Amino acid sequence: MTKKTKTRKWTRNIAFLMVCSLFLLMTPIHANEQANVMTATVMIDPGHGSIDSGAIAYNGQYEKDLTLEYALKIGADIQALDPTISVIYTRTDDTLQWVNENTTENFEWDDLMGRSNMVNQISPDYFLCLHFNSAEDPSAFGYEAFVRQEDTATQQVYSLMSRKFADLGYSYDLGLMSTANAPLHMVDLTNSASMLLELGFLSNEYDLSLINDPNMKDNLCMAIAQSYVETIHAR
């Protein structure tokens, strides 16, 4: 073995040791990072379903189909933005597994109870109950949401969302309403940061055209998803 070979071997050993110690050094950091990984659960409830079509748009579309389409898109966007956030849905198709529509006498009540029980069993950090509005007056338009008065987390989600909707040029902010004086089942009887969102009027031509516009649809869902992810990361 020449001196040169010896030195080269020595250098190689040093390099190997350095790589090893670097790896050892990295392991606990990595573990810490794992421990600090932001995880949260967001549950999304597409309003209506099955025999309950919800509002019927002036062009014949059902609210239940739009809530489902939007809910699944919002959930997929949340997971794309942050895969550590788990997304759960009350329904992913047109069946309501918590209520038998053929035998129940109080469909509406049983449906709501089934949904809120499911939320309370899972106890997500955030709960979004998604609806579209309808009014006799076809000129009514805009989006609004309902939240518990003390729920600052959801209030933050809404204010982020409203700003993003304004940037997108989407409809009109009718405001965030507190349920303090008018309790809402899906907001007040669920044990999460809960929001009931009425995303726009299906009875209004302007809102409906935006709701059905493929680009706007993508952008609205992404804006809602971003508002949740940003709120989760900031808390």
CB 161 within 8 A of CB 130: no
Q: Which of these ranges, 45-53, 80-88, 169-177, 205-213, lies near Zn ion under the rule CB under 5 A?
A: 45-53
- Is residue 200 within 8 A of residue 211, CB to CB? The reply is yes
Rounded least distance, CB 54 to Zn ion, Å: 4
**Interaction between residue 54 and Zn ion (CB under 5 A):** yes
Is residue 200 near Zn ion by the rule CB under 5 A? Answer: no
Do residues 122 and 41 make contact, with C-beta atoms less than 8 angstroms apart? yes
Q: Confirm if 134 and 201 have CB atoms less than 8 A apart.
A: yes
Longest dimension (CA), the chain: 95
Is 75 a binding residue for Zn ion by CB under 5 A? The answer is: no
Q: Which residue is nearest to Zn ion (CB)?
A: 131
- Pick the stretch among 22-30, 41-49, 151-159, 164-172 that binds Zn ion (CB under 5 A): 41-49
| Residue 16, helix vs strand vs coil | helix
The DSSP 8-state label assigned to residue 96 in this structure reads -
Chain residues 94-133 in contact with Zn ion, contact rule CB under 5 A: 131
Return the range that interacts with Zn ion (CB under 5 A); candidates 17-25, 44-52, 105-113, 173-181. 44-52
Binding footprint of Zn ion on the chain (CB under 5 A): 47, 54, 131
